[in-house]
Homo-oligomer: A and B are copies of this chain.
Amino acid sequence: MNRRDFLSAAMLAGGAMVLPRAVASGDADPAMAAILRAAQQQREAAIQRIRDWIALPSIAAENLNMPEGAQYMAELARAAGFDSASIVPTDGHAGVFATMDNGAERTLGIYFMYDVKQYDPAEWSSPPLEGRMVDKPGYGRAIVGRGAVNQKGPEATFLAALHAMRAAGVKPPVNIVLVAEGEEEIGSPHFSQVVQRPEVFAALKKAEGIFIPASWQNINGGVNVNLGSKGVVELELVASGERWGRGPKGDIHSSYKAMVDSPSWRLVQALHTLVSEDGNTPAIDGWFENVRPLSAREKALIAEAARAGNEAAQREQLGVARWIDDLPYREALERLASQPTVNIEGLVAGYTGPGGKTVLPGRAVAKLDLRLVPDQTRAEAEAKLRAHLDKRGFTDIETNVSGGYDPTETAEDSRLIRAQLAAYQAAGATAKLNPRLAGSWPGAVFTAPPLSLPAGHFGLGHGSGAHAPDEYYVVDSTNPKVAGITEATMGYVDILYQLARIS
Chain B residues within 8 Å of A323, by CB: 259-260
Query: Which of A268, A337, A369: most chain B CB closer than 10 A?
Result: A268
B351 & A357 in contact (Cβ 8 Å cutoff): no
A29-85 contacts to B, CB under 8 A, are: 60-62
Nearest CB of B to A231, in Å: 11
Q: How far is the CB of A480 from chain B (nearest CB, A)?
A: 28
How long is the Cα–Cα vector from A197 to B261 in the complex, in angstroms?
42
User: Considering the complex, which residues of chain A in the window 345-359 have a beta carbon less than 8 Å from any beta carbon of chain B?
Assistant: 345-359
Check if A318 sits within 8 Å of B261, measured CB to CB: no
Could you tell me if B341 and A346 are in contact, using CB atoms closer than 8 angstroms?
no
Q: Which of B232, B322, B360, B367 contacts A246 (CB 8 A)?
A: B322
Given A241-B320, A349-B347, does the pair A230, B255 have CB atoms closer than 8 Å? yes
User: A401's closest neighbor in chain B, by CB?
Assistant: B356
Least Cβ–Cβ distance between A328 and chain B, in angstroms: 11
Hey, what's the 0/1 contact readout for A242-284 against B, CB within 8 Å counting as 1? 0001111111111111111110111111011001011110000
A376: CB under 8 A from chain B? Answer: no
A466 → chain B, closest Cβ, in Å?
7
A467 and B322 alpha carbons, distance in the complex (Å): 43
For the complex, give the distance between the alpha carbons of A261 and B468 in Å: 20
Contacts of A234 in B (CB 8 A): 356, 358
Are B321 and A246 closer than 8 Å at their CB atoms? yes
Name A262's closest neighbour in chain B (CB-CB): B279
Which chain B positions have C-beta within 8 A of A61? Answer: 353-356
A362 contacts across to B, CB distance below 8 A:
319
Query: Are B335 and A358 in touch, CB under 8 angstroms?
Result: no
Q: Is A220 an interface residue (CB 8 A)?
A: no
Contact assessment for A356 and B259 in the assembled complex, using a CB-CB cutoff below 8 Å: no
Closest B residue to A268 by beta carbon equals: B271
Q: Which residues of B contact A346 (CB under 8 A)?
A: 349-352, 356-357, 359, 361
Let me know if A118 and B353 touch, CB within 8 A: yes
Interface residues on A, range: 35 or more
Asked if A371 lies at the interface with its beta carbon under 8 angstroms from chain B, I say: yes
Evaluate contact between B364 and A345: CB separation under 8 angstroms. Answer: no
A336's partner among B259, B275, B364 (CB-CB below 8 A) is B259
Contact assessment for A318 and B348 in the assembled complex, using a CB-CB cutoff below 8 Å: no
Question: Among the listed B260, B268, B321, which residue makes an inter-chain contact with A344, where contact means beta carbons less than 8 Å apart?
Answer: B268
Knowing A241-B319, A256-B318, A319-B252 touch, does A352 contact B348 (C-beta < 8 A)?
yes
Contact A255:B359 (CB < 8 A) given known A346-B352, A352-B346, A352-B352: no
A455 to B16, CA, bound (A): 80
Chain B nearest CB from A17 CB (Å) reads 29
**Cα distance A159–B145 in the bound complex, in angstroms:** 57
A187: Cβ under 8 A from any B Cβ: yes
A320-B247, A346-B351 known; A280 vs B252 contact (CB < 8 Å): no
Is A186 engaged at the interface, CB distance under 8 Å to the other chain? yes
Interface residues in A325-345 by Cβ distance below 8 A to B read: 327, 332-333, 335-345
Contact B279 A335 (CB under 8 A): no
- Whether B350 lies near A345 (C-beta < 8 A) is yes
Given contacts A230-B255, A258-B335, A321-B245, contact A344 B361 (CB under 8 A): yes
A223 within 8 Å of B (CB atoms): no
A439 CB contacts on chain B under 8 angstroms: 253, 255, 358
Closest B residue to A319 by beta carbon equals B249
Chain B residue at minimal CB-CB distance from A321: B245
A438 at the interface (CB under 8 A from B): yes
Q: Is the CB of B264 within 8 A of A333?
A: no
Query: Which chain A residues numbered 267 to 317 have a C-beta less than 8 Å away from chain B?
Result: 267-269, 271-272, 275, 277-280
* B358 adjacent to A351 (CB under 8 Å): no
Chain B CB within 8 A of A236 CB? yes
A170 within 8 A of B: no
Interface string of A97-140 (1 = CB under 8 A from B): 00000000000000000000110000000000000000000000
Residue A402 interfacial (CB < 8 Å) = yes
Instruction: Check A9 for interface membership: any CB of B closer than 8 A.
Output: no
The CA of A322 and the CA of B248, in the complex, are separated in Å by 9
Nearest 6 Cβ contacts at the A-B interface:
A265-B279, A61-B355, A249-B319, A264-B344, A255-B438, A346-B350
Cross-chain pairs A/B with CB under 8 angstroms, 22 sampled: A61-B353, A187-B356, A234-B356, A234-B358, A241-B321, A256-B336, A257-B371, A258-B340, A259-B327, A260-B318, A262-B279, A262-B344, A265-B279, A265-B344, A268-B268, A268-B271, A269-B278, A346-B356, A347-B350, A347-B364, A350-B367, A358-B467
Query: Other CB < 8 Å A-B pairs besides A256-B438, A264-B344, 14 of them?
Result: A60-B355, A62-B354, A117-B357, A234-B358, A254-B369, A254-B371, A255-B371, A255-B438, A258-B371, A259-B332, A344-B350, A346-B359, A347-B348, A359-B467
